[in-house]
Structure 1
Amino acid sequence: MRTLAYMMTILAVFGLAFWAYRENYATQQVLKETRVLRSDIADAQVRLSVLRAEWAYLNRPDRLRDLAELNFERLGLLPLRPEQFGRVDEVSFPPSGLVIEEGVEVSSYGQEADQ
């Protein structure tokens, strides 16, 4: 009976050792993937900061004004003037008791296009 208990104990130890061995390598693989993902995230953040800087550079008001002047005939863009902007207190808001009686269909889903 003792021999059976010793054999079961030895098998349990071997089984736990095999399980620990596999878990160790699985953990190392996950840590490696995590390092790769963190590196990818850092690279993406650097690219994003470069893209934001380029966007800010391309949207400079003086550059956009020059582009609007160059393409005035094609686009018909007019320069913005301060008097074109209003104040918040000049905005007319709908009355608070507004009741919408008829809805408006804004989706064309399921309808055939007229051609």
Structure 2
Amino acid sequence: MRSLLFVLTALAVIGSAFWAYHENYKTQAALDRADELHRQIAQSRARLGMLRAEWAYLNRPDRLRELAVINYERLELMVFSPTQFGRVDQVAYPSEDPLARVANSVEVRGQQ
């Protein structure tokens, strides 16, 4: 009986060691994957910063104004001025609900 207990204990220790070894490698693989994701995130953030700087550089008002003047004949672009913009209270909104008007005119199962 005693030898059976020793054998079972040895098998439990070997099984625990195998499980711990396997979990250690899974953990190391997960940590490596996390490090790779952190590197990719850092590269993406750096690229995003560069793209934002490039976008700001390309959208300078003086550059866009010059492009509008150069391409006026082909595109007929006009330069914006502050007098072309209105205030929100000057917008005329429709008095009735446009969805209610559309819903009333839709035919449903042969009925108007």
In the TM superposition, residue 65 of structure 1 has moved relative to its aligned partner by 0.3
In the TM superposition, residue 80 of structure 1 has moved relative to its aligned partner by 1.1
In the TM superposition, residue 91 of structure 1 has moved relative to its aligned partner by 1.0
Taking the TM superposition and a 5 Å limit, the aligned residue runs for 1:69-88 are 69-88=69-88
Measure, in 2, the Cα distance between the counterparts of 1:57 and 1:82: 22
Q: Which residue of 1 aligns with 2:67?
A: 67
Structure 1 runs of 4+ with >3 Å offset:
none
Query: How many matched pairs?
Result: 102
Q: Which residue of 2 aligns with 1:28?
A: 28
Measure, in 1, the Cα distance between the counterparts of 2:105 and 2:68: 42
Measure, in 1, the Cα distance between the counterparts of 2:33 and 2:94: 55
Q: Secondary structure in 2 aligned to 1:17?
A: helix
Q: Which residue of 1 aligns with 2:109?
A: none
Judging by fraction of residues, say which structure has more helix: 2
Unpaired runs of at least 5, structure 2: 107-112
In the TM superposition, residue 94 of structure 1 has moved relative to its aligned partner by 2.4
In the TM superposition, residue 2 of structure 1 has moved relative to its aligned partner by 1.7
Q: Which residue of 1 aligns with 2:92?
A: 92
Q: Which residue of 2 aligns with 1:112?
A: none
RMSD of aligned alpha carbons: 1.2
Unpaired runs of at least 5, structure 1: 104-115
In the alignment, is residue 14 of structure 1 matched against residue 14 of structure 2?
yes
Q: Which residue of 2 aligns with 1:57?
A: 57
Identical counterparts, % of pairs: 54
In the TM superposition, residue 93 of structure 1 has moved relative to its aligned partner by 1.9
From 105, 108, 112, the counterpart of 1:102 = 105
- TM-score normalised to structure 1 length: 0.83
